[in-house]
Amino acid sequence: MRIIFALVVLAFAYIKYTISTTKETNPYAGEVQRVALTPEQEVQMGLQAVNQMAAQHGGLHPDQVAQDFVDKVGAKLVTHTNSILEPGAKPIGYPFEFHVLRDEEAVNAFALPGGLVFITAALLKKFQSEDQLAGVLGHEVGHVLAKHSNQQMAKGGLFAGVGQAVAVLVGGDGGMGGHTTGSMANKVLSSKFARDDETESDTIGAELMKQAGYDARQLIEVMKILQESSGGGGGPDFLSTHPFRRAGSIT
């Protein structure tokens, strides 16, 4: 009975996943994916979250020179997004915006759904070349184009369902052991797809760099900068949220 109940839980999660999501082929990554939001909804979600995310990092940086520099590099990369489209695919047309955050402590960069890209002043000041900045911004643009946040929202319910099914199998008596194992299963699945997303963003970002005339090999130098920023501790925020591929594999 425990197995049957677990299968029912899993089946319900999968049915809910397929009904509440849309299947499509990503025009930039070329992969078949399921998403929870339309591009318009992604943009709206990003706009709703922008003030909150900026506030968490001390607001936007007042240095207009730094902001103009980031805008220039970001625009140069975005100009070439159509050149990496899959054959016959139509561009999504995300209204990309790039913002420098005032935060002088957290070494980080991230993107919101719909094209909002952020980089902290702490990370920006560590770069020694425009190519290095292009590497990080290109990586974040890659996340947006590949719809990684959108995919993760779509998969969230399915992963939770798998975790619940595992919990039923392991802890049929309602004990904490089943719940703990179920949570671990959910986390393992999420982490695996997160690593895949980082690899995909690396690939898209490197291609955009090449198209824009930047040296994609500078991504290796970016990795060195981030490793040095860790100071032997837990590492900068960027590395904890962006598990890049080994630097030696970037070409």
Active site residues: 140
> Across-strand partners of 120?
101
Give Cα 139 to chain centroid, integer Å: 9
Longest Cα–Cα distance in the chain: 66
How far is Cα 137 from Cα 224, in angstroms, rounded to an integer?
17
Helix (H, G, I), strand (E, B) or coil at 91: coil
Q: Give counts: helices (H), strands (E), the chain.
A: 9, 5
Question: 212: which 2 tokens?
Answer: 């824009």
How far is Cα 10 from Cα 165, in angstroms, rounded to an integer?
6
